[in-house]
Structures are given as C-alpha cells and as structure tokens.
Amino acid sequence: MSTTMTQTANGSAAHHGAAGPLDNRTSPHVQLHTLPYDSVTIRGGFWGQHRSVNRSTSLKHGYNMLEKAGNFHNLRLAAGLAQGAYIGRLPFLDSDVYKWLEALAYELANGPDSELQNMADEAITLLAKAQGADGYLNSFYTVAEPGKRWVNLRDGHELYCAGHLFQAAVAHHRMTGSTRLLDIARRFADYIDSVFGPGKRRGVCGHPEVETALIELYRDTGEKRYLTLAKYFLDERGHGVVGAQPGRAIYYQDHVPVREATTVDGHAVRQLYLTAGVADLYMETGEEALLHALLHQWHDMTSHKLFLTGGVGSRVSGEAFGEPYELPNDLCYCETCAQIASIMWNWRMLLITGEGRFADLMERTLFNGFLSGRSLDGKRSRYENPLMRRAGARAYGPHGNERAEWYECACCPPNIMRLLSSLSHYIATNTDDGVQIHHYAPADIGADTAAGRVHLHLQTDYPWQEVVMLSVEQTPAARWTLSLRLPGWCHNSTLRINNKKVPVAVDDKGYLRLDRQWQTGDFVELCLPMQPRLTVAHPRIDPTRGSVAIERGPLVYCFESFDQPSEIDLLDVAIGRDAHLEALWRDDMLGGIMVIKATGCWVDAAAWGDDLYRPVSTRTPVTNRPMHLTAIPYYAWDNRGLGAMRVWVPLV
Amino acid sequence: MSTTMTQTANGSAAHHGAAGPLDNRTSPHVQLHTLPYDSVTIRGGFWGQHRSVNRSTSLKHGYNMLEKAGNFHNLRLAAGLAQGAYIGRLPFLDSDVYKWLEALAYELANGPDSELQNMADEAITLLAKAQGADGYLNSFYTVAEPGKRWVNLRDGHELYCAGHLFQAAVAHHRMTGSTRLLDIARRFADYIDSVFGPGKRRGVCGHPEVETALIELYRDTGEKRYLTLAKYFLDERGHGVVGAQPGRAIYYQDHVPVREATTVDGHAVRQLYLTAGVADLYMETGEEALLHALLHQWHDMTSHKLFLTGGVGSRVSGEAFGEPYELPNDLCYCETCAQIASIMWNWRMLLITGEGRFADLMERTLFNGFLSGRSLDGKRSRYENPLMRRAGARAYGPHGNERAEWYECACCPPNIMRLLSSLSHYIATNTDDGVQIHHYAPADIGADTAAGRVHLHLQTDYPWQEVVMLSVEQTPAARWTLSLRLPGWCHNSTLRINNKKVPVAVDDKGYLRLDRQWQTGDFVELCLPMQPRLTVAHPRIDPTRGSVAIERGPLVYCFESFDQPSEIDLLDVAIGRDAHLEALWRDDMLGGIMVIKATGCWVDAAAWGDDLYRPVSTRTPVTNRPMHLTAIPYYAWDNRGLGAMRVWVPLV
C-alpha cells in the first residue's frame, strides 16, 4: 500500500482528499464541486444493502467471470504469460476488466479487504506486463489482430478501451494513492497523444468514452495535453472522420458536430458517454456552445425519449434512441449501460448548473431502470429493461429474457459494479457558501465551506420512509447554507429545524436553501410525503394511452404475475382513477420492500371473443370485476422466476 | 410456342385447362376446386389497374434490376457464359429470377407480348445452360462456393431456391404448355430426390418453400416421388435436423413438428410458406393431424398476431411473429412477403374448408398490407409496412424508410409481381354443384359443374362501389348453385335477382348460396353497403388502446400528413365516436381513390408542456378543437413523398 494513503475514520483507504469518479474541484465552469471521496460514507439503508451485495458477491463473481470468459487469459497472452489463442470474437474485452477494476478501487476506499486488494494488485500486475514498450495496451490488437492497430477506429473500440483504463487508473490512484495503474494509463495516453491530433493522424473512436476519461485523467494528473486531446476528439466528431457507411454515422455518433447537436440520437450508450464528455469539456473551458447543445439535447431526451423508469433507448435495432414519443413498453431496449451513462451525464449537468432537475433524473434512473439491471443477489444482469413482459413471452432482444451471469459483450455487469461501488460520490457537493444534499441515504458527510468545516449526519429509511433527518455534527461559527433537494415528485413537504416547523421555500433550482448560523447539534427533519400516486403519460405516446402507472416517492412500481391471483392474466387488469392505494411494508419479500396494494379490476376480455378488431358501434362485451392488485418496485422484478410484468395498466 | 397451346377468347396463351399457381382439381381432400387459369379473366377495375402497371412496368423493371443486381450475371457464370466473380453476398439470388419468371409466365397467359415472351425464353435458356449435368442448379454454390453443396442447408437456401424454380416451372408449363422450364425443374427435383429422404441424406432447408413447390410439381407432373419427398421434408421439420443454435430453431421453423404446432411463431415468411406446404400435403393426404394443426395456427394468428391491414410479423428482429397482442403500429415488420405468404396459405385453407373467413383474410391482406408493399407506379417496393410513421422519423428496420427500386435481398419485389400477375386465379372456384365467387372484380368466369358449363360476367367497381352485378352468360338447364361470399365486414347486404329483391341467407361458411335453375341472361345484383366505419382493437393490445381506425368496405384507411392542415402534427389528431365520415371520390388523387372526410379534432398537446409524465390527479391541460380530417386508403400511402402517417388515432 502506498505511503500516501490514510485510513479514514471508517477504516477505508481513500487517498486523503482525492475525489471519486469525477473531481471538478479545480474546474472553473461549475456551480457545484464534488467532495473528496472519503467525505461521504453511506451507512446502511437501501443503497447500503445493494452496495453490500455488490462488494461481497458481485465483484468476486466478476473476477471469476473475467477468468472464465477469457478476459484475463487474453491479457496474459498479451503479456507473454500464457500460450494459446485469443478467446472471444470481440475487440473490447479489456474494457470489462477496467470497469471491474474501477469498482474494486472504490471498494478499497470503502473499506479494507485483502481479497479485493489482491485481486486488484494481480490485475494491475498483469496489465503492466501486457503493456507494450511504446505504451500501447490492448489484448485484442496485440494478440488476435496484431497488425491492425488503429486500422479500424470505427469498430475496433481501441480508444474506448483506453478510456475505461484511464477511468480505472484515476479511480485507483485517487482511492489508494498508488500510481501503479495510473502510470500504465499515462504511458498509454502519452502514446495515443503522440499518434492522434492536429498535424498527426486524424481519427475518432466509433464508441465515445475516451473523451470523458481523458478529461478526468487531466484533472487527476494536471497534464493539459490530455484535455487538449479530449477536445480534439470531441471536435473531430460529426465530420465523417469515423468513416461510417451511409446512414450509419448516427450509430457511431458521427452524424453531427457536438456543438450543433439538438437531439439525442443513435446508439444510446455512445450518445450519453459523448454528452458526458462534452459536459466535462464545458466544465474546463466554459464554451457556451457546448452547454447550449447539451441543454437542447437534455430537453429532447426528457421531453421525448425517456421511459418512466429513467430507461433510455427505445430500439433494439442499433441499441438506439427512437423517435420522439416512440416509447414501447414491451419492445424497448433501455440497456442498463444506457441508464448508467444517463446518470453519468446528469451528474455532470447537475454540477454545471446546480439544478435539481438533473438530480431528479439521476434519482429516477438509479432507483428504477438502473437497479433493475441486476438481480437482488448481485450475480445476474440484464441488458434490456422493458416495462412490460407478457407471460411466457419469447425474448425480443438478442440477450434472452432473463438476467444472465455474464454476456459475450459483458458491458453491463461491471458497469453496474462501478456505479454502485462509487455511489457515495453522488450524495452531496459543496460550494463556498455551503453544502448541497442531492440524494438521500443514511450517511456521514463532511465538507468544507468558506466559513469552515462542516460535518453532517444523515439518517433516513429513504425511499421506504418519508423522513430525512440531518444532524449537524460540526459547523463553523459563520453562516453557511445547507441545500436540500426537493425531489420533483414531492409535494407538500414539511421541514422542521430543531423540532420547530419551518416554511418550505424552494429556490428556482429545486432546493430548500437553509441559510443560517448553524450550531453543533442542530437537527433538521425533512418530510417528503410518499403517498402512492397514479401517473399518466403524454397523449402523444401510443402504448401508454389510457393507462396509468403507480409511483411512490422515487420508485416506479410494477405488477408482477406472482403477486396477483393466479387465475388472472396480467393483460386483463386495470385501475380506476379513484383506486385506493396502500403502501405496506413486507420484510419477507424481495429483500424487504414496500408493496402497494391497489383496488383494481379484472377486465373479462374473454367476452370480447376471438376477434382482434370490431366496429366501435357494437357494444363491446367486456365486463369489469373488482379485484385487489399488488404492485412491487420495478427494480425488484424478475427475481422470482420470469413471469408476466407490467408497469402501465389501463385506466378504467 | 408449344403446339398444345390454344389462344383463349381474350387473346391469352394459357395452356387449355391448366390451372394457375395451384391446381387442386385432382386433390382428394378439398371442398373447392381451382379453375383452369384461362377460365377467369379480370377486365379492368381496381385490380386491372394495378395489374396493368405490373405487366407494363414492374416486370420490365424487374428484368433490368435482375441484370443490374447481378442475378443474371451469376447464372451466366454458372452457365460458363461470362467471366468474373459472383456478384452479391447472398446465396439465394436465383430465387428472385424464379419469382419474376413465374410472374412472366402468368402474363404470357394474360395476353401475348413478344417482349415478355423473349425475356422468359432468354431466362430459361440461361437456366438450362446453368444447370449441371446431374440436375443441380444454383449459381451461388456453383460459382461462389463450389465445394459447399448441401453443406449448410440451414442458411444456404438451396432447397428454397429449388422450390421457387419448381413454382416458376409449373407456372410456365401450365401457362404456355412448354416443358422447357419444367424439364429443368424435374431434373433438379429428381436429383434432390436422389440425395434426400429415408435411407439417404437427412436434411431440411432453413427456409421452407420447397415443400409447397414439390407438391405442386407433383400435381403438374403426376410424379408421386415429389409428393413423397415433400412429405419427407415436412416430417423432418421440428426434430432438430436444421441444426440451429440454441433458441434459434424457431427462426428456421424447426422448433416443433408440423403436426404438433398450435401457434404461428418465428420468421413470419418461413412460418407461412411452411403452413402453405402443410395445407398442400393435407389436400393430398387428408391426414387430420395436419388440418388440426393448421386450424389451431390460424386461430392463433388471427386472434393474437394480426394487424388490421392483414400485416403479420410484429418484430424486425428475426422478421418474426411477436407474442400474442404484441402489435406495435410504428415498429412492426409486416414484411410484404409475409402478407403474400399469408394469402397463399389462406387460399389453401379456403380450398380445403370452403369457409369464407379465409377469403376474408385474403381480401383484407390483398387490399391493404400487401398492396402497400409497392408504389403505385409499380417500380418501388417496401419490406416493412408499418401502421404509423412519425414526421421525419428515421428508419426503424434495416431497409430504410421509403420504398426502394430493389434490395440486396430482393425477395419482395418479384413476389408482388407473381401474385398480381396470377390474381385472376383467386377469384372463383367450382364444385360439382356449382360456382363460388370469393373476390369481387370485373371478370369473365367460366366453370364446369356437374350439370354442365357455366359462364358468368361480373361487373363491379369494387372496392369503391357497393354493387356487384353478375349476369349468367351460359348455363346448363339443370339446377346449380351460385355461391357469393358475403365479406365479414359487411352488414345489411341486399340481393336482387332479375331486379327482384331476394332475402339474403348466408350459410355457415359465409356465402350466399343461390341454388336455382338458372337461365341465360339471369342478372344478380349484390349490394354490399360500404358506409365508412370506425374500428376498435382488442383491449389487450397496448398501442391501439383508446384508438380507432377508419375502414370502408375491405379497405383500411390511414391519415397521411399531406391531406391534413399543414400546421397540424399528425400526432395530435383524434376522432370522436360520433364522427361524421363521408366517402368522396377523388379521380385526381393517387390514381383515383375514395377518400374519407372525417370530423375530428386537434388535441393541443403543447399545453401539456414538456413533461412526458404527470400525476393523474392534476387536471390535464389539453384542449380539443374541431377540425376536418381526410383519410386515404392505407395501400396508397407513401406515394407523395414520405410524410407522417397513422392508421389508428385516439378516440375522444
């Protein structure tokens, strides 16, 4: 272990003062600053439970899978440590190792674990040996196609893999203080910088990722060449440099220059990794055209192309965004990685603007379309996250119906790992004048303000319970502002400070700003009423027309067939506008969940007969009978076998 | 020209007494018999117009495209008549030549044309030279992959191509009397029969087609080995012989034995070519298990997986049927070839059972989801036939948005040609006791009954006008039954015989049975009221919920943006239950169409704001303003550029 490491109060190993996946503390064009990683510790609660599974099960499972799938073997071949052929057909298998290693790095900071430590050390030793003398590091182009380095930037994912290496390296350096992996990353980045750029080779990767990674590498090392190179790659995009076939430029995100983009289009993960990179560049340069484009793109995504779950990417074909209002419940893609990319981008937009709408979307995505990506036991992941599944339905996408232990293209599993491992990073930020809490979880939060050091202790059973309690553990004598996000779904919130009711005043960014001279021991109690609610969708969307979904707090609910009377086909249930909705804690179900009991009805469609179509003028012989329905949080579906599932049901 | 040919009264060259694409006159297990091809002549009217374009434009366009795309070139390579490399990547390019040649054959019977005659002769000469000494004929496996004959039956389409050759050959023989192409086909079939079968090589083609074709070859030649071989291929299917990867058997129609099938599944064209072959086998063998399976499959298709247009195949992925009630308006595949396959299968079911429901579906498919497959000028074809297109939407399938002149896989264009060229075949049938009219078009119909020869003259402007008039031109003295299909969409029909109203009595198969002692000059007038009507869809279907479509007679209508006020987004129109619908003939539009003027309303969705989702409890700020909408027949869409289009619109 590096001598620069310090043990934090909770036994973790974060390099003192180093930030998490993004460190914008020196970025000039931001409203909010990220906190050092060891400043926020999540202590149990909802996310603690999922993070604990992630740490104890998923990371080790990932290690085994990376061995089984050949990722380590291929790197060993590149390192001259093994004999044989490259395993697998795909050129980007190294990236799975990097994402997993990035997750490991955060876990080393979350708390010591010699097994995780050994895994990380072993992997880094392997990478060091697999790296070429010139700094190049890619097992596929070293072993499987040795003569083809930089030949097919469009499909080869070489720069994409490099980007994931850089992110892992920055995380490992920040979390442990060690520069072992960072040195590997820098050698590779320096080599890439010697190859690409103005006056050198033109080129841009078919899969954005290296852009955001290079900027983080710049932030971590101070090496401005990396920022310049990221800007070069971003500037090149949209000018046909990728060399896509006609009509395919959009898949590779080469259809429009980043400053001229007004919509989110094409491959959803590529699009949102790209917008993350553009946001990073804005944070460093303040170039208004970048932010202008990003705000337009965000508007397009949220007002035209977003599923209720935070899922994005309507089309299996091309793993792509669809047209405005093209939001199929059953055939959507909503790749788990696209939701992760959306969270990454929205985090950057939040830091840039300080506006709660970006945190709102992060929250919607985290609790629903992201978390549904993995089984509760931490071992299986999904690509597609549909909002409906018919009983016995065959897979509509290429990855089967059920979550799988691993995939040939296993981008999602380690991506989930690194986000969960680093989740404490996203809880809070600071500014000169105070501390902002964006996401509610039981946590200890430390942050510097201009007035001095602040320590907060946050207690909550969010998203199950309505109350968030903060106690001020340390505060400077001078005034500072505690900002609490008021979630967009929430109405009628109440606030108490030291047991005294305080009027709730939300600023134009969606935050309660509590500007006071705080005292140690001050106690803030925010109540975010969580009555279950019925939600309707925009009338331009076809498959949700005349339908409602149940939400409670930040959670989207769904009906899974297991919880309804067995004689009922889930296609035949409906809910009335005046349905009685009751939240009920079930400790014994799905790791402990709040279910929603709803009065609904069973639509006897059998009476409709065999015809699919009939004149409107004939009286439709359908009868409705009252029944009780049970909804579970969407994220928890498909953990009891694969039944039928619906988020939206007809409104009767 | 063969000496066995006779010129028919209308100058056509049909081999006297030979039937069209299907000749079941000697099949023991049928209710209805096909008529000799020259017994029915379509004279103008709706289909005459489309057939005239087909004959004068599409066939010659096809000839040029087959030259341009390399199909002829590849056959010349196989024949040793050209030098160079095989053009194209696909192994089934020969099948496009065969389907086009089959269409040519019908046109030679529809009327003499030396240019068409020369094209056919030239192609047949080429095929004769391309055939191997052993009878094998396939340009791909002769030229591009010479050592791989029968190596990859799953994907190689060798037997599929052979089947299309057999169909073309049978058509050419029947239509011209010449055995030139038939001899080629028989040599190939004999060779295939020497390779495959019990005690020989096991194998079954990944794409069904050869089965139905072999049975027709048997019917035309009397060679029972072809029927036996077809039965062998049908029996083999569903036992893993195709050798599909896990989960892919359904794509190749190898997932279930044909007698055990209860649903239509997997690749839609393959599924329906297969059911056509099974129906053919039933007609010859009467094996109840086959018909039992087919009826179950038909029920599954029509009550779960059928679009209003007759389109089938919900999924782009795998070109496949979807799950029950999975019927997306915007993302559906509905491949033109799947509709053609559906028509082929339904024709066989009609012949087997005599039940009008099969003719109803043929009609729905012909006038809507089939005919939309081609542009009105006969030059461009579609693969996908969606029921909705948003303004400016990007293609959701692999074939672009607009109809194209040709495709790399150009299965649809010549398939449309052969169906239109042979359409007169499907108008009428006979039985010992009479004549059945299934489809209404101006036509001369001759048929034998046990009582003697019948000639009918049919006049109608169907589907535009409600009246069908039949005059009896020739009749035996004894009683016989004239059966007229009463379309399933029709209510309140009226019937007059010799200007005297006669009660309409529909039998349990959906036909008006007029059992009389007919006189020459008898005049039957059937009125099929065509008030425009609003149609609703089964409540289990998501994307049509709360919506209506306009139909009139057999035509499904759609709204195309060109016909609505330009300031209106087609996503914002709606129709009330009591909408006034008025049919209006427009001679100047789209080749002459009946438009439907509808009172509707414009839904001001802008007031909804940017949110895609909102609580049901808040009053939705949407206002509706009355407006006039204009609908056109669905088949005619996308002939004035590519605008927005919708079949279903919300019911307000």
Q: Looking at this predicted complex, what is its ipTM?
A: 0.94
Helix (H/G/I), strand (E/B), else coil: B327: coil
> Counting Cβ atoms within 10 Å, is residue A114 exposed (0-12), middle (13-18) or buried (19+)?
exposed
pLDDT value at A622 more than 50 = yes
DSSP at B453? E
Cβ–Cβ < 8 Å for B496, B514 = no
Task: Identify the pLDDT of residue B1.
Answer: 32
Q: For residue B375, is pLDDT > 60?
A: yes
Chain B residues whose CB is inside 8 A of the A369 CB are none
Please give the pLDDT value at position B185.
98
Mean pLDDT of chain B: 95
pLDDT at A617: 74
CB-CB under 8 Å, A650 with B615: no
At residue A8, does pLDDT exceed 70? no
**What pLDDT, on the 0 to 100 scale, is given for residue A428?**
98
The pTM (predicted TM-score) of the whole model is: 0.95
- CB contacts, 8 Å: B547 with chain A: 542, 545
pLDDT tier at A7, thresholds 50, 70, 90: very low
How far, in whole angstroms, is CA B107 from its chain's centroid?
A: 17
Percent of chain B with pLDDT over 90: 92
Residue B538: closest CA among chain A residues belongs to which residue?
A612
Q: Closest approach of chain B CAs to the CA of A331, in angstroms?
A: 9
Exposed/middle/buried for residue B399 (C-beta within 10 Å: 0-12, 13-18, 19+): buried
| Tens-digit pLDDT profile for residues B17-70 | 888 999 999 999 999 999 999 999 999 999 999 999 999 999 999 999 999 999
The whole-number average pLDDT for the span A232-261 is 95
Range with the lowest mean pLDDT among A245-249, A462-466, B297-301? A245-249
Contact status, residue A267 vs residue A273, Cβ threshold 8 Å: no
The mean-pLDDT minimum among A485-499, A617-631, B250-264, B576-590 falls in A617-631
Catalytic residues of A: 319, 411
Task: Mark which residues 334-393 of A lie under 8 Å from B by CB.
Answer: 388, 390, 392-393
Task: Supply the pLDDT for residue B605.
Answer: 79
- Name the CA dihedral angle for B618, B621, B627, B629, rounded to a multiple of 10 degrees: -60
Note the pLDDT of residue B623: 80
DSSP A288-316: HHHHHHHHHHHHHHHHHSB-TTS-B--BT
Cα distance from A259 to chain B (closest Cα, Å)?
22
Q: Answer whether A34's CB lies under 8 Å from A20's CB.
A: yes
| Tens-digit pLDDT profile for residues B175-204 | 999 999 999 999 999 999 999 999 999 999
Distant-in-sequence, close-in-space partners of B553: CB < 8 Å, separation ≥ 6: B462, B463, B466, B487, B489, B490, B528, B530
Task: Give the gap in angstroms from C-alpha A535 to the nearest C-alpha of chain B.
Answer: 4
B319, B335, B355, B551: the active-site residue: B319
What pLDDT, on the 0 to 100 scale, is given for residue B6?
42
Q: Is the pLDDT of residue B616 over 80?
A: yes
Which bin fits A101, alpha (ψ -120 to 50), beta or left (φ > 0)? alpha
Identify the CATH number of the domain defined by range A4-388+398-426.
Answer: 1.50.10.10
A11 has a chain B CB within 8 A of its CB: no
Percent of the residues in chain A that have a pLDDT greater than 70, as a whole number = 97
Residue A19: pLDDT band with limits 50, 70, 90: confident
3-state secondary structure of A412: helix
Q: How far is B327 from chain A (nearest CA, A)?
A: 10
Q: Please give the Cα distance from B277 to B291 (Å, whole number).
A: 12
pLDDT for A572 beyond 80: yes
Instruction: State the best of A255, A306, A309, A542 to mutate against chain B, taking most chain B CBs within 10 Å.
Output: A542
Residue A535 to residue B616, Cβ atoms within 8 A: yes
Helical pair A59-68 and A412-421, crossing angle rounded to 10 deg: 150
A-contacting residues in B 289-308 (Cβ below 8 Å): 299, 302-304, 306, 308
- Chain B 540-569, CB below 8 Å of chain A: which residues? 540-549
Nearest-angstrom CA–CA distance, B33 and B354: 10
Chain A neighbors of B533, CB-CB under 8 A: 615-617
Spatial separation of the C-alpha atoms in residues A167 and A23, rounded to whole Å: 12
Dist. CA A441–CA A459, nearest whole Å? 7
Judge: A250–B394 Cβ closer than 8 Å, yes or no. Answer: yes
Task: Looking at mean pLDDT, say which of A391-400, A416-425, B597-606 comes out highest.
Answer: A416-425
**Are residues A317 and B533, on separate chains, in Cβ contact within 8 Å?**
no
Cβ atoms of B192 and B159 within 8 Å: the answer is: yes
Q: Per-domain residue ranges for chain B?
A: 4-388+398-426, 428-527, 535-650
Torsion angle (degrees, nearest 10) of CA B320, B325, B330, B334: 40
Quote the CA–CA distance of B356 and B346 in Å, as a whole number: 10
The predicted pLDDT at position A623 comes to 80
- Residue B617 to residue A534, Cβ atoms within 8 A: yes
Given 3-state DSSP classes, what are the helix, strand and coil percentages for chain B, each rounded to the nearest 5? 40, 20, 40
- The active-site residue out of B332, B334, B411, B601 is B411
Q: What secondary structure letter does DSSP report for B300?
A: H
- B552 and B364 Cβ atoms separated by less than 8 Å: no
Which helix (H) or strand (E) segment holds residue B217: the answer is helix B210-221
Nearest CB partner across the interface for B612, out of A303, A611, A648: A303
State phi, psi for B571 to the nearest 5 degrees: -70, -15
Residue A604's pLDDT is what? 86
Which amino acid, one-letter code, is at A234?
L
CA A65 from chain center: how many Å? 22
Residue A527 corresponds to which tokens in the numbers above? 């109540």
Please choose, from the candidates B99, B240, B225, B82, the residue with its C-alpha nearest in 3D space to the C-alpha of residue B164. Answer: B99
Cβ of B605 within 8 Å of Cβ of A308? The answer is no
Kindly report the backbone phi and psi dihedral angles of residue A595, in degrees, each rounded to the nearest multiple of 5, phi listed first. Answer: -90, 160
B520 touches chain A (CB under 8 A): no
Q: Mean pLDDT lowest for which of A91-105, A415-429, A604-618, B428-442? A: A604-618
- Residue A202: pLDDT band (50, 70, 90) is very high
Nearest to B102 by CA among B159, B179, B20, B3: B20
- The region that residue A546 occupies, defined by phi over 0 for left and psi between -120 and 50 for alpha, beta otherwise, is left
Mean pLDDT value of segment A397-401:
89
Cα A11 to Cα A104, A185, A418, A421: the distances in Å are 16, 28, 20, 16
**What does the DSSP 8-state code read for residue B395?**
P
Cα gap A475→A461, rounded to integer Å? 25
Cα–Cα dist A84/A579, whole Å: 63
Q: Is A604 on the interface with B (CB under 8 A)?
A: no
- Whether residue B13 is predicted with pLDDT greater than 90 in this model: the reply is no
Q: Which of B327, B331, B536, B622 best tests the A interface by mutation, with the highest count of A CBs <10 A?
A: B331
CB contact under 8 A, B330 and A329: no
Inter-CA distances, B279 with A151, B238, B510, Å: 54, 17, 21
- Topology agreement, domain A4-388+398-426 and domain A428-527: no
pLDDT tens for residues B379-409? 999 999 999 999 999 999 889 888 999 999 9
**B357: nearest Cα among B299, B276, B431:** B299
Average pLDDT over residues B94-102: 98
CA distances from A614 to A608, B221, B301, B472, B492 (A): 9, 45, 16, 36, 16
Whether the predicted pLDDT of A10 surpasses 50: no
- Give SS3 for A151: coil
A614 touches chain B (CB under 8 A): yes
Contact list, B611 vs chain A (CB under 8 Å): 303, 538
Q: Is B319 a catalytic residue?
A: yes
How far does the CA of residue A136 sit from the closest CA of chain B (Å)?
36
Query: Is the Cβ pair B616, A536 closer than 8 Å?
Result: yes
Predicted pLDDT of residue A2: 36
pLDDT band at B533 (very low <50, low <70, confident <90, very high): very high
Q: What is the average pLDDT value for chain A, to the nearest integer? A: 95
Report which DSSP code applies to B144.
Answer: I
For domain B428-527, give the CATH number. Answer: 2.60.420
Tens of pLDDT along A105-149? 999 999 999 999 999 999 999 999 999 999 999 999 999 999 999
First to last CA, chain B: 63
Q: What are phi and psi of B370, to 5 degrees?
A: -85, -50
Cα–Cα–Cα angle for B570, B573, B579, rounded to 5 degrees? 140
A529 lies within 8 A of chain B by CB: no
B196 Rama class: left (phi>0) / alpha (psi -120 to 50) / beta: beta
Residue in chain B lying closest to A250 (CA): B394
